[in-house]
């Protein structure tokens, strides 16, 4: 796990992975005993084009510090043109995140094939290091969730003492 030594911060990272390529790349990295951070939570999707930009916003709202989307290389999509749609959608999402004030480095799109287990592990490690250096994401955190957690006496598992 990537930890920021100065603050003890452990980032929460959500990874949307294409079933046909990137998820298989994650499986290959595990089969080859390549390590990547345990704080990367993988969500398998049928195709990268099925990831709605709202999913990124919802992940940030629910406490994710970084969100990464991994799909097939352009031209190799199982559904022919899915990753071309993804590329266009993510370009629009990144401009919207800039407008909202979310750091651009908190999101990433990577193309990882099923045979690239090493690349998957390296990508996840580098992204986790980058997010750990940025610190916690407080910009889109849902204040209602924090207020409910304070009332219930639940504190942030990151050790900051803030309510979730």
Angle subtended by helix axes 117-134 and 22-31, to nearest 10:
100
Q: What is the pLDDT of residues 89-135, one digit of tens each?
A: 999 999 999 998 899 999 999 999 999 999 999 999 999 999 999 99
- pTM of structure: 0.83
The predicted structure's pLDDT at residue 145: 58
Residue 110 pairs in a beta bridge with 70
The predicted structure's pLDDT at residue 120: 98
Indicate if the pLDDT at residue 155 is higher than 70: no
Query: Helix, strand or coil for residue 38?
Result: coil
- The first and second tokens of residue 76, run together, are 């190799």
For residue 35, count CB atoms less than 10 angstroms from its CB and return exposed for 0-12, middle for 13-18, buried for 19 or more.
Answer: exposed
Indicate if the pLDDT at residue 17 is higher than 90: yes
Contact (CB, 8 A) for 39 and 124: no
Helices (H) and strands (E) in the chain, counts: 5, 4
**What's the rounded Cα separation, in Å, for the pair 150 and 156?**
10
Contact (CB, 8 A) for 34 and 121: yes
Indicate if the pLDDT at residue 154 is higher than 60: no
Q: What is the pLDDT of residues 25-69, one digit of tens each?
A: 999 999 999 999 999 999 999 999 999 999 999 999 999 999 999
13-152 placed in CATH 2.30.30: no
Confidence of residue 139 (pLDDT cuts 50, 70, 90): confident
Confidence of residue 1 (pLDDT cuts 50, 70, 90): low
Q: What is the pLDDT of residues 73-92, one digit of tens each?
A: 999 999 999 999 999 999 99
Confidence of residue 151 (pLDDT cuts 50, 70, 90): low
**What's the rounded Cα separation, in Å, for the pair 124 and 119?**
9
Contact (CB, 8 A) for 17 and 121: no
- The contacts of residue 156 (CB under 8 Å, 6+ apart) are 162, 163, 164
The predicted structure's pLDDT at residue 164: 46
């Amino acid at each position: 796990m990537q930890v920021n030594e100065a603050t003890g911060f452990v980032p929460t990272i959500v990874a949307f992975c294409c079933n046909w390529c990137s998820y298989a790349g994650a499986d290959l990295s595990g089969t080859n005993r390549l390590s990547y951070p345990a704080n990367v939570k993988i969500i398998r999707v049928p195709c990268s084009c099925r990831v709605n930009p709202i999913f990124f916003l919802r992940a940030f709202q629910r406490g994710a510090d970084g969100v990464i989307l991994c799909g097939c290389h352009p031209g190799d999509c199982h559904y022919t043109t899915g990753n071309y749609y993804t590329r266009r959608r993510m370009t629009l999402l990144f401009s919207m995140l800039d407008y909202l004030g979310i750091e651009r480095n908190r999101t990433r799109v990577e193309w990882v094939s099923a045979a690239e287990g090493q690349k998957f592990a390296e990508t996840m490690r580098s992204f986790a290091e980058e997010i750990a250096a940025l610190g916690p994401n407080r910009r889109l955190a849902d204040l209602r969730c924090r207020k409910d957690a304070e009332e219930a006496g639940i504190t942030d598992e990151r050790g900051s003492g803030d309510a979730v």
